[in-house]
Amino acid sequence: MKIKKSILIILLLSGLMSLYAEEPIEHRISITDNLNLREGPGLNYKIIKFKNGGKIENLQLKITDSVKVLKISETEDVINGKKGRWVYIDPGYSDKTCGWVFDYYLAKKEDFRPLVSLPENMELIFDDGDVVIHYKFFKNGTTQYINDKKIKSGKLYIEKSEKVIVIKWDDQKEFYVWNDAFIYKSGRLCVWSIEPGGTCSEVVK
Amino acid sequence: MQSYFDTLDNKMTGLLSEMIGNNGLQINSITISAIYYEKYENLIDRSAGHRLGMAIDIVGVTFKNRKEDAFFDDPNNNIPENDSVKAVFNWLVGRNDVKDVYTPWQIKSGTYGIKMSIPNVWSTDKTLTQKRYDLMFGHRNHLHLRLY
């Protein structure tokens, strides 16, 4: 009886610990495409595969994907001259697949600073399913999101490699890396899409 | 709706026939709510599926066993995804000719690079981007399907 009780307590404790372990340490955002998710913390571990349509593909993050970091490896690693740590991340898939990625390519909240100017006033309009998405970007680094019901205002923040821009909404007290994000290239703000080069903002005359 | 049915691409009508005829899915009927949206007329440079005859919206699917009939008009998002609807979603996203499938429960987007399905969590996840919230909220009550 005592043994059964002990086993039950151990099971309960390990259950609680695994719940605790899945709490995110922080959110981060990918600043590159084709960032492989691996089964363990190192290049020697296999890349996780998944079925996309009829094809088996490598599971990868794309630029501007935001993720929850669940674990951080204790030691640093150097890959192609880049220093970083391996982090165990949850990208938020339906089947709960998580994996390890090299964090040199994941920007943190501290990596962002306000973007004080853009070369032009711009607009980004596209449809996603049945929803029309509409952003306005202004030369002074402010932005608006427009939908059927409201206009939401915010400021643009850019990370240190200047590849990704994220919005801080005016109604938020602090900046979150999981807010609306854009690829920044040649002075334009773009979202990843199947169109070559993504779907990008256009200058407003 | 009838007047717009001819705007559908042949690939879409072919896919619907395959869905109905597939023995594994056991579909009895499909209720389509939308084919063509005029609101996309001004999105000249964007590939709006509903303007090209490559997208439809489905609000109901009934099955031959009748136990898991699904009517997507659930504004509070509190009806769980049943096994028959999950099978339809998996069948659609497993095809090479299907680009986007958005439902009140799951989302997969070839257009915007959501290659692995993500859950539709508009009512529970407070860390959604405004864009993704609108996408999920906008598909809380129907299945949007788009072909390549």
pLDDT tens for each residue of B89-142? 999 999 999 999 999 999 999 999 999 999 999 989 988 999 999 999 999 989
Does residue A27 surpass a pLDDT of 70?
yes
Which residues of chain B have a CB within 8 Å of the CB of A62? 113
Tokens representing B131? Answer: 């864009």
**Residue A101 and residue A35 share a domain:** yes
Residue A43 domain boundaries: 23-107
pLDDT tens digits, residue range B26-49? 999 999 987 776 655 565 445 567
Question: What H or E segment, with its residue span, contains residue B118?
Answer: strand B114-119
| Domain total in chain A | 2
pLDDT of residue B73: 72
Average pLDDT over residues A115-141: 93
- The percent of residues in chain A predicted with pLDDT above 90, rounded, is 78
Residue pair A116/A141 in contact (Cβ under 8 Å)? The answer is yes
A56-71 average pLDDT score: 97
Residue of A nearest to B135 (CA): A131
Range with top average pLDDT, A6-15, A143-152, B4-13, B51-60: A143-152
**Residue B68 pLDDT exceeds 90:** no
- Does position A167 have pLDDT exceeding 80, yes or no? yes
| Cα gap A45→B140, rounded to integer Å | 39
CB contacts of A195 in chain B (<8 Å) are 47
Looking at residue A21, its pLDDT comes to: 46
Chain B contacts of A132, Cβ < 8 Å?
39-40, 43
B103 token code pair: 């439902």
| A39 φ/ψ angles, rounded to the nearest 5 degrees | -75, -20
Residues A102 and A34 reside in one and the same domain: yes
On the question of pLDDT at A74 being above 50, the answer is yes
Across residues B44-70, what is the average pLDDT? 79
∠ CA B109-B111-B54 to the nearest 5 degrees?
95
B96, B100, B113 ranked by CB distance to A192: nearest: B113
Nearby residues of A12 by Cβ (< 8 Å), 6 or more positions away: none
User: A79: domain CATH number?
Assistant: 2.30.30
Residues A100, A159 within the same domain = no
Average pLDDT, chain B: 86
* Domain end marker among A107, A130, A148: A107
Q: Cβ of A126 and B138 within 8 Å?
A: no
Q: How far is B49 from chain A (nearest CA, A)?
A: 8
Per residue in A168-185, pLDDT tens?
999 999 999 999 999 999
Q: Residue A191 is nearest to which of B37, B112, B130, comparing CB atoms? A: B112
ipTM of the complex: 0.87
**What is the number of alpha carbons within 13 Å of residue A117 lying toward its C-beta?**
1
Domain assignment present for A93: yes
Check whether residue A121 and residue A199 sit in a common domain.
yes
Give the residue from A107, A142, A157 where a domain finishes: A107
Q: Which residues of B touch A193 (CB under 8 A)?
A: 111-113
Does residue A186 sit within a domain? yes
Which of A97, A179, A199 is the closest to B116 by Cβ?
A97
Mean local confidence (pLDDT), A113-126: 95
Q: Is the pTM of this model over 0.90?
A: no
Q: Which residues of A touch B96 (CB under 8 A)?
A: 53-55
Within 8 A by CB and 6+ apart from B130, the residues are A145, A152, A167, A169, A179, A180
Q: What is the pLDDT of residue B4?
A: 66
User: Do A163 and A88 have their domain in common?
Assistant: no
Indicate yes or no: CB of A129 within 8 angstroms of CB of B96. no
Give A14's pLDDT tier (boundaries 50, 70, 90): very low
The answer to whether position A88 is within a domain reads yes
Would you call B129 and A53 a contact, using CB atoms and an 8 Å cutoff?
Answer: no
What distance in Å separates residue A56's CA from the closest CA in chain B? 11
Which of A59, A127, A167 lies closest to B46 in CB terms?
A127
pLDDT of A20 reads 41
Please indicate, yes or no, whether residues A92 and A116 belong to a single structural domain of this protein. Answer: no
Nearest to B139 among A53, A129, A169 (CB): A129
Å between A8 CA and nearest CA of chain B:
32
* Structure-derived torsion over alpha carbons of residues B36, B38, B39, B44, reported in degrees to the nearest 10: 100
User: A95 with A138, same domain?
Assistant: no
Q: Are residues A116 and A194 in the same domain?
A: yes
Q: Quote the minimal CA–CA distance from B30 to chain A in Å.
A: 19
Taking contacts as CB-CB distances below 8 angstroms, the residues of chain B near A92 are 118-119
Question: Both A116 and A189 in a single domain?
Answer: yes
Q: Residue A149: pLDDT above 50?
A: yes
Nearest residue on chain A to B36, alpha-carbon basis:
A130
Average of pLDDT values for A32-46? 97
Last residue of a domain, one of A79, A107, A135: A107
Nearest chain B residue to A133 by CA: give it.
B131
Bridge partners, residue B29, by sequence: B62
B86 DSSP β-pair partners? none
Average pLDDT over residues B71-78: 68
A128 and A158 co-located in one domain? yes
A135 and A92 belong to one structural domain: no
Q: Which of B20, B15, B17, B85 is nearest to B54 (CA)?
A: B15
Whether A80 and A120 share a structural domain? no
Can you give the CATH number for the domain in which A158 is found? 2.40.128
Q: Any idea where the domains of chain B sit in the sequence?
A: 2-147
Per-residue pLDDT band at A12 (split at 50, 70, 90): very low
**Would A5 be classed as within a structural domain?**
no
What the block records as the tokens of A39 is 């089964």
Chain A residue with CA closest to B45: the answer is A126
